[in-house]
Structure 1
Amino acid sequence: MTRARLPLYAFLVLLFVGFLAPLVWALSGSFKPRGEIFGYPPELVPDPFTLDNYRTLLTEQPFGRWFLMSTVVAVVATTVSVFVCALAGYGFAKFRFAGRRLLFNVMFSSLSIPFAVILVPLFVILVKTGLGSPWFALIVPWVAPAFGIFMMQQYIVQSIPDSVLEAARIDGASEFGIFRTIVLPLLRPSLGALAVWQFLQSYNSFLWPLVLVSDSSQYTLPLGLQTLFVSEQRQYDLVLAGAVLAVLPAVALFVVLRKQLLEGLSTGAVKG
């Protein structure tokens, strides 16, 4: 390590500490009684150490339903979105059809529109068409994100030569067969990166569930933890315990897809 890089490494260490500190504080606070969470001076090691926060959260609050709702919605939305984005990106990248450039420009331009702008029209459309069921409506906004389609289109253009597809067509493969057996396996790194991004988008969503869901039994985790936070007692102990449990699916997904995620990001960095 050269002296010239010492400031860079010091800056990166500070960033790491800054990002890690809230999680460490939440983990520590989740094992403390409510009155000790904001004690001064702050203590990193809980004293006294207690599991009552987790016990209360899991037995006296509908945390299990919130957790199941968020996880199932995020998994389904991610699975559908990854497939749809890969299919749409493949169409934009490898097929020539009338209006292709116009459709792509419209799709790409939608990246500049904040979700809050389309939130009310989307809600009205779903309610008027009778599709306002939370299990369905919570998934709709994440099915075909413009960012995911653009990401897949760029990766396919850079990584899959036309000659491979033409050879498969000459061998008699169908278009969907080519997509399933050739394109999808080659897209594995980018699919992993997109899956992580898409899961977090759906799993962490707060504004859309807030507008859509009125039944507390169908709350997602962000809504459920918010109800604990805004209650009269300000249940910080339960909120911190819930936050620690809520991060587990995201960490598990990263562990499972870390190889594909790093490969996808590094490939984009090299070829972009």
Structure 2
Amino acid sequence: MSTPVVDRPREDPGQGPGTSGRLRPDRGHGRGSRALLYLTLTVLALVFLAPLLWALSGSFKPRGDIFATPPRLLPTSPTLENYRTLLTEQPFWTWFAISTAVALIATVVSVFVCAMAGFGFAKYRFAGKRVLFALMFSSLSIPFAVILVPLFVLLVKAGLGNPWFALIVPWVAPAFGIFMMQQFIVQSVPDDILEAARIDGCSEARTFFTIVLPLLRPSLGALAVWTFLQSYNSFLWPLVIISDTSRATVPLGLQTLFQSENRAYDLVLAGSVLATVPTILVFLLLRRQLLEGLAAGAVKG
């Protein structure tokens, strides 16, 4: 008696045993998507870098060559005269020192205050907590220009109009920083760790400094970069507070050169290039914490 023959599905020669019926990934499609992604990122990088590259090139050009037609990316006769004039005949070093010092102080104070406030909103219960948090969060929708005059009048009436102090005030406790810290603490600091620390006899201050702050390192780095850039690049508030151009910040000083009678575009470009040095250094030093903080904020749980 003959045995019946059962038809089996033919396997693709390119597939191994046990893989029949499975679809192989389309490698061509994946390569095309990756090439399109790289092309898009390259175009965006060039768009964002174009102003900086143009400023860098123009800072080595004489003033007459900056607006030459057709425009030239590379200077035909490079010169360091723009930098020499800016650093010797203008108080650029004073502007640079004031901007950097104010930004560093504001960053340290802001990171500390926002971490404490965020910890309080995240892990403590007190009367009016929801109302205070709602008021704080709603202040994000108010432009700074709206509170500019009231804040200035308040500081002057209180006798706190000293430029060094006044320049730091807007960045002491930004609502964005408090909200960012509160969200990160809720996600990254378990209540069990805090309870264990309290059972072991740790005070609230010691718990915050020895347990909470080390866990907040990624978000602290991200907040530090944001605060430094906001304070260092601020223009409107220093314009109201500072009346002596020799004690201006870098953005205000460059605006003074731009508004001069001869429109010193060459000096403005040279100053713009030098002004980017602290921001680039801060980003390079804190890039790891910045990326970790952004990644942690994008993942729930």
Fold shared, TM-score > 0.5 on shorter chain: yes
Task: Give the structure 1 partner of residue 267 of structure 2.
Answer: 238
Letter in 2 for 1:262: L
Match of 1:161 among 190, 199, 205: 190
SS in 1 for 2:299: helix
Aligned to 2:135, which of 106, 110, 113? 106
- CA distance, structure 2, for counterparts of residue 35 and residue 217 of structure 1: 27
Higher helix share: 1
Q: Are the counterparts in 2 of residues 134 and 218 from structure 1 also a CA contact under 8 Å? A: no
**Aligned partners of 1:254 and 1:271: how far apart in 2?**
25
Three-state SS of the structure 2 residue aligned to 1:67 is helix
- Of 126, 129, 150, which residue of structure 1 is paired with 2:158? 129
Report the CA distance between 1:271 and its aligned residue: 2.4
Q: Distance in 2 between matches of 1:173 and 1:47?
A: 67
Alignment-mate amino acid for residue 59 of structure 2: S
Q: Deviations over 1:128-158 (max 9, x none)?
A: 1110010000000010000000000000000
Amino acid at match of 2:212: V
**Residue deviations 1:94-129, cap 9 Å, x none?**
001111111100100100111011000000000111
1:17 alignment counterpart: 46
1:159-205 Cα offsets, whole Å, 9 max, x none, are 01000011011111110100000111110000000000000100010
| 1:5 Cα offset (Å) | 4.1
With 175-184 and 31-40 compared, the bigger mean Cα shift is at 31-40
State the partner residue of 2:69: 40
How big is the shift at 1:3?
1.4
Match of 2:16 in 1: none
Q: In the alignment, which of 71, 81, 93 is matched to residue 122 of structure 2? A: 93
Residue identity opposite 1:271 in structure 2: K
Q: How many Å apart are 1:43 and its aligned residue?
A: 2.1
**What corresponds to 2:238 in structure 1?**
209
Structure 2 residue aligned with 1:26, among 48, 55, 59? 55
1:93 shift after superposition: 0.3
Identity %: 74
Give yes or no for the alignment of 1:59 onto 2:88: yes
Q: Could you say which residue in structure 1 is the equivalent of 2:172?
A: 143
**How far off is 1:4 after superposition?**
3.1
TM-score, normalised with respect to structure 2: 0.88
Q: Aligned match of 2:211 in 155, 177, 182? A: 182
Computed over aligned residues only, the root mean square deviation of the Cα atoms, in angstroms, reads 1.1
- Distance in 1 between residues matched to 2:69 and 2:267, nearest whole Å: 20
Aligned length: 272
The CA deviation at 1:6 is 3.6
SS of residue in 2 equivalent to 1:252: helix
CA drift of 1:267 comes to: 1.1
Give secondary structure in 2 for the equivalent of 1:271. coil
How far residue 12 of structure 1 moved from its aligned partner, in angstroms, is 2.0
Q: Is the Cα contact below 8 Å between 1:134 and 1:212 reproduced in 2? A: yes
Counterpart of 2:85 in structure 1: which amino acid? T
**CA deviation string 1:50-76 (max 9, x = no partner):** 111000000000001100111111000
Distance 2:259 2:39 in 1: 38
Corresponding residue of 2:21: none
Secondary structure of the residue aligned to 1:2 is helix
Q: Find the counterpart in structure 1 of residue 103 from structure 2.
A: 74
Aligned-partner residue type, residue 70 of structure 1: S
Cα distance between partner residues in 2 of 1:198 and 1:254: 12
